[in-house]
Amino acid sequence: MPSFRVQFQVSGLRPGHRPDEVLEVARAAVVAPLHCDDVRLDMPAGVPTVTVRFTIAGSHDADEDARARLHGAQITQQVSQVAVVSPPRVLRRRGGSWLPIPAL
């Protein structure tokens, strides 16, 4: 099963929401047929960045990349209900590297 991750920056919370909701919503947004491997918050250069790592059922690269893009957008859209987020960046695991999947 191929591994992917979606990353987006968080620049603020929507009114009435708590910081811990961001990761909760991100984890809950990963639904079947995906498998959520990890959700974390990092602070590169002081900017809150959420990373959601997930796996999807294998088929062929173009189909897997398209589904990963779709799921990455859906995860980010769900989180945007509680926080102000940047556009998502979707990456695919190849060997020991994470390679960006170009947006369409």
Q: Which residue is it, tokens 């947006």? A: 103
What is the model's pLDDT at position 104? 72
Q: Residue 24's closest CA among 9, 43, 39, 5?
A: 39
Q: How far is CA 47 from the centre of its chain?
A: 16
Quick one: DSSP state of residue 1? -
pLDDT at position 12 is 95
pLDDT in tens, 80-104: 999 999 999 999 999 999 999 987 7
**DSSP bridge partners of 100:** 91
pLDDT number for residue 103: 78
pTM of the predicted model as reported, rounded to 2 decimal places: 0.94
Q: What is the pLDDT of residue 32?
A: 85
Are 98 and 28 in contact by the 8 Å Cβ rule? The answer is: no
pLDDT of the residue at 89: 96
* Regions of the chain short of the pLDDT cut 50: none
Q: How close are the terminal C-alpha atoms of the chain, in Å? A: 23
